[in-house]
Amino acid sequence: MEKKRCEWVSGDGQRHISEESLRYHDTRWCKPEHRDQELFAMLVLEGMQAGVSWDIILRKECNFRKAFDGFDPQTVADYDEVKIGELLQDAGIIRNRRKIEAAVTNARAFLKVQEEFGSFDRYIWGFTDGKIIDHHLSDMRDMPAKDELSERISGDLKKRGFKFVGPVIIYSYLQGIGVINDHWEYCDFR
């Protein structure tokens, strides 16, 4: 018997769903992530996604991981103009100067958060006291683009110097790292 998936990945028969999107939905989306390096990776990927389909980001994820040194925040924080120039020439990633520079800025801010809180995990999950927010969705129209939590976290991140962290990006980020569970009630991958 075929497994049921959330509407956004099961599609309506009008569009092709990539293997990367299926795998992401089934194994990572809305699943709690606590490893700081992966929390940083998702922050960069979500920022890169602004104005681009998530499917494109997922198809390029391996290229991003290679280009950004496995998303090691310490390494990315040390990127200089030469490295940024190299990234702007890499056809395997999104070559947007503002987004690439934001990744470097965010790596530096990320390290400061780690220093202050002991880990980025402790900081980000602290907004919900380590609890998962489960919206128990049953319809695509019920999923918000942002909410009070994403607005609060977005504001705090911006105060800390992060870029490309608006409330819509942060809502998607919170889903991606499992703070928010927006799998449909009928989804077999809840």
CA dihedral 40, 43, 44, 48 (to 10 degrees): 170
The answer as to whether 90 is a domain residue is yes
Q: What is the pLDDT, as a whole number, of residue 11?
A: 62
Judged against a pLDDT cut of 60, whether residue 180 lies above it is answered with: yes
Q: What is the pLDDT, as a whole number, of residue 187?
A: 93
Q: What is the mean pLDDT of the chain?
A: 94
Judged against a pLDDT cut of 90, whether residue 15 lies above it is answered with: no
CATH code of 163's domain: 1.10.340.30
Q: What is the pLDDT of residues 25-39, one digit of tens each?
A: 999 999 999 999 999
The answer as to whether 29 is a domain residue is no
Residue 7's CB: how many other CB atoms inside 10 A? 17
Judged against a pLDDT cut of 60, whether residue 14 lies above it is answered with: no
Residue 13's CB: how many other CB atoms inside 10 A? 5
CA torsion sign for 89, 91, 95, 101 is negative
Judged against a pLDDT cut of 90, whether residue 140 lies above it is answered with: no
Residues tagged active-site: 24, 46, 54
Give the total number of structural domains in the chain. Answer: 1
pTM of structure: 0.95
